[in-house]
Structure 1
Amino acid sequence: MNDATPGDLPERLSMTLWDFSWYVRTGPGEPFEDLDAAFARAVELGYNAVRICAMPFLIFRSGIDTSALRLEPLGGEYGARVRWYDVREPTVIDAKAHLLAFFQAADRHGVKVIASSWEYQQSPAFADGPAWYEALHAVAPEDRITVLAQAQADLVDYLGEHGLAHVIACVEPHNEVQIGHLTAGLPGVEDAVVELRDRLERGIAAFLARHPEVPCAPNYGGVPVASMRGLPRNATALGFHPYVYGVLDDLIAEFGLRRPVAEFPQEDAAARLLREGAPDLKDWALPEANGWKLKASIMQPAEIYVHDWCDPAAFDRYLYDHYGEHRIAMANRLRDWIDAAADHAKRLGVPFYFGEGWVGYTPRDGRFEEGPVGAGICRDAVAHSARVGAWGTIVCSNAAPQHAMWEDEALQRECNAAFRKG
């Protein structure tokens, strides 16, 4: 039993990550065309919680009319083979009504929701125009987290008006606060986790002043073990994403996936990583009219290009070929990060959870994390999450309707049952 678990909520949350996909992928044949079917499938696989971008700023604070929100792919074939970005069909939703329908469906299926926001990272990139993106960036950097926290409080108010506040397990002001546009204007002298603390504490205070009964968690990419003094002192929960990378870091560095386009090793990548007929990186870009979408998505052009044009088998083969060099270090990092997260949560006396993980960001059609090595990492991570008393965890970030791992029923049932049993 985790003494820090909030009352009237499940002792353990087995989560599936639906991020912004639950509203950008609602078109014909898309994975969230039928929300009830998606929830029913999640429950069948052993999940009792989902984590989403609730688009709180857009709906409650932007001033934009969202009654006919137009959503679409990034543009042309750009991003069409990129995990999380591979939206196929344009769609139009009434955003507020769709949000309500989501929580109503969650309630029907007995599923709790962690409400976050990806709005300063990816979400606005899928709108058909820049108004959402521009509204976000019109907010002064110093005020962004507080405005997001107020929007999350507005969300809880709205759900309360419809008798659905009990569906919320936790809110996060934003996903991965130290990675994206929330760091704008920081001095850059110390790690962003440390420099964001004051902004986060103000935001959390603003939320808790209105809804002290709802856990409010800062959410971090990775586990910032060198900057844990930067965790907000008033947090009432903590969320972490232990992506350990390791061998994936090697591939990213060797092929310059996160470096400027001019540094991309085109010939080497063509020989070892890309599909036949791939265009050069310099020729693979968003249509000019959609250039704002790249800023909204925060992803580097070289990484999008390689995910779009790699031979997935070649990408996976690189990871398998080099995994042995990193196996022990990756296992140690994963265990140490989970231990560190647990230790600091216990110091603060708050529940903690792992909302994403475990290896890292791989192409849509890659199967390293879905294969035998990745599945083994999933099992180890879930087991260790249970051992240290995590309130919630995932099977893997890729275990969701918008990813191929959703079809691996046995792994998900096994991991979810093991975690919830503890």
Structure 2
Amino acid sequence: MSGQSRYLGSGTIKRDTAELTGVVPAHLPQRLTITLWDFSWYTRAESGGPYADLDAACSQAAELGYNTIRICAAPLLLFGDLGLEDLAIDVEIEGMGKAPDGGIYGRGTRWYDAPGGYRLNLQRRLFELFEAAERHGLVVILASWEFQQSPAFAATSQWFNAIDAVPLTKRYAALATAWDRMITALTAAGHRERIALVELHNEVDFSILPALADGGTQELSRLQSLHPDLLFTASYGKPPHLAMHTVPGHHSAAQFHVYSYGVLDALQRRIDIRSEGTASFPNEELRSLLHATAPSVEDYGRLAGWKYEATVVTDQMFYGYDWIDEIAWDNWLNSHYGKYREVMLREIESRVIAISEWARWKKIPALVGEGWIGYTPLLGTFEEGPIGRELAEKGIRTALAHGVWGMVLCSNAAPHHPMWGNQDWQRHMNNIILATPTTTEN
């Protein structure tokens, strides 16, 4: 045995995992750097807003090193044949509405801080977005947030009522039909090769939809048979990382989200901010973190009732985030993070690996379209700061080491979030992603 290495089993033999998990269509970038524009590209299009000028927004994204934008394309509104044709070309964006103090509901939240007050032709705007994306070398991931929150931003419930009237068992079919029509229209306009991926719906596990196995997989198959050159999937907000074999088949790409709430979850449970209808709300712990000027829950008032039905955000979340003292919030997270750090880092790593291994087994490209910590107040800096960036970089480097095709830098790295201002970090990380080889060097 002298001079020989001990054999300790096949598990000790290093396996090269950096090669992409599946083949990417030749006309698409071989690595995607994704900025998450969700529904905000039309709900934050107010004068002077982050998406008032789509060309300028696309130009800046490209300058920061992004090559992909992920959006809610509102397929049911625009191509759903649900009697919304007039609304599709003239929808009034209100946001969450005006509060009794004259401010807007959602003022302290991410995504929901929409002042509204304008109308737009969303159907025309979709094609304008694709034209701007083409000018700046961007591709587009098409998704729908309609059974999760998009209609809540409209001034009337017409959009929500129309999609809510679709029987639960027929919602995936309605989505697939709308996607087919949208793809056909985009193709006719010369934009087919600009489509990076089509998601049947965003976060099917956290939307007003049945389980994907209950009708969704067959609709994915139908779309793939109609458009075999395109990639289709349905994203999960919390994929079953410990049992990925239970994810229904028929995906041609794997777009899953990786959030490690850790210390954030500990704070949320402590202040009971994500529940609804709690009799003692706000509890003592939450009151200790609110601004001194915070009104009572009664004085704060409520959104229009239908808006709560149209979104997954609760009344307690709106009140809490609108009136939280962001400095006190950040201080609590920073002071308690230490005991969660290793768990959060390991959780991000293990979840990314679980997704990539499932995709490799299926021989399809893998993406992380959202991540890494979770939902924080608009002006909180925990995720934008050193701690959040460390966790994000862990996720990104793990994704690159395990053959993930595309990834966000962070869910908050988009024009409608304060994190967009950290341009140096975004350029640096996008350069790392784009410089990492996608094939194994022989």
CA–CA separation in structure 2 for the residues paired with 1:210 and 1:270: 51
- Out of 33, 47, 63, the residue aligned to residue 83 of structure 2 is 63
Matched letter for residue 63 of structure 1: G
Structure 1 residues 137 and 269: CA distance shift in structure 2, 3 A: same
Matched letter for residue 53 of structure 1: C
Aligned to 2:61: 42
CA–CA separation in structure 2 for the residues paired with 1:141 and 1:81: 33
Aligned to 2:150: 123
Aligned to 1:16: 35
SS of alignment partner, residue 370 of structure 2: coil
Structural mapping, 1:166-205, within 5 Å: 166-183=193-210, 195-205=211-221
- Report the Cα offset of residue 57 of structure 1: 0.6
SS of alignment partner, residue 36 of structure 1: helix
Aligned to 1:414: 428
Matched letter for residue 11 of structure 1: Q
Residue deviations 1:181-229 (CA, integer Å, cap 9, x gap): 113xxxxxxxxxxx43232212202211211111001101033214423
Please give the root-mean-square deviation of Cα atoms over the aligned residues, in Å.
1.4
SS of alignment partner, residue 261 of structure 1: coil
CA–CA separation in structure 1 for the residues paired with 2:215 and 2:277: 33
CA–CA separation in structure 2 for the residues paired with 1:360 and 1:263: 26
Matched letter for residue 252 of structure 1: Q
- Report the Cα offset of residue 280 of structure 1: 2.3
CA–CA separation in structure 2 for the residues paired with 1:304 and 1:125: 13
Aligned to 1:147: 174
Aligned to 2:293: 277
SS of alignment partner, residue 204 of structure 2: coil
Matched letter for residue 369 of structure 1: E
Matched letter for residue 418 of structure 1: I
Matched letter for residue 392 of structure 1: G
CA–CA separation in structure 1 for the residues paired with 2:116 and 2:354: 42
- Out of 82, 87, 94, the residue aligned to residue 114 of structure 2 is 87
Matched letter for residue 123 of structure 1: S
How many aligned positions are there? 409
Identical amino acids, percent of aligned pairs: 38
- Report the Cα offset of residue 271 of structure 1: 4.4
SS of alignment partner, residue 362 of structure 1: coil
Matched letter for residue 248 of structure 1: L
Matched letter for residue 378 of structure 2: R
Residue deviations 1:240-288 (CA, integer Å, cap 9, x gap): 110110001001111111223324553514542100121223443335x
CA–CA separation in structure 2 for the residues paired with 1:420 and 1:264: 50
Unaligned runs of 5+ in 1: 184-194
- Which stretch shifts more, 215-224 or 347-356? 215-224
CA–CA separation in structure 2 for the residues paired with 1:70 and 1:89: 8
Structural mapping, 1:340-351, within 5 Å: 340-351=354-365
Structure 1 residues 214 and 270: CA distance shift in structure 2, 3 A: closer
CA–CA separation in structure 1 for the residues paired with 2:334 and 2:249: 41
Structure 1 residues 328 and 270: CA distance shift in structure 2, 3 A: closer
Aligned to 1:74: 96
- Which stretch shifts more, 344-353 or 61-70? 61-70
Structural mapping, 1:10-409, within 5 Å: 10-61=29-80, 62-64=82-84, 65=86, 66-76=88-98, 77-183=104-210, 195-269=211-285, 271-287=287-303, 290-409=304-423
Residue deviations 1:113-165 (CA, integer Å, cap 9, x gap): 00000000110001111111011111111111121122112111011111111
CA–CA separation in structure 2 for the residues paired with 1:379 and 1:286: 39
> Relative contact order: is structure 1 or structure 2 higher (C-alpha 8 Å, sep ≥ 6)?
2
The structure with the largest alpha-carbon Rg is 2
Asked if structure 1 preserves the Cα contact closer than 8 Å seen for 2:24 and 2:30, the reply is yes
SS of alignment partner, residue 178 of structure 1: helix
SS of alignment partner, residue 219 of structure 1: coil
Asked if structure 1 preserves the Cα contact closer than 8 Å seen for 2:169 and 2:214, the reply is no
Structure 1 residues 174 and 270: CA distance shift in structure 2, 3 A: closer
Structure 1 residues 285 and 348: CA distance shift in structure 2, 3 A: farther
Matched letter for residue 376 of structure 1: E
Unaligned runs of 5+ in 2: 1-18, 99-103, 437-442
CA–CA separation in structure 1 for the residues paired with 2:378 and 2:370: 16
TM-score under structure 1 length normalisation: 0.94
Residue deviations 1:312-339 (CA, integer Å, cap 9, x gap): 0111111111101100110110000000
SS of alignment partner, residue 47 of structure 1: coil
Matched letter for residue 305 of structure 2: G
Asked if structure 2 preserves the Cα contact closer than 8 Å seen for 1:222 and 1:244, the reply is no
CA–CA separation in structure 2 for the residues paired with 1:222 and 1:116: 17
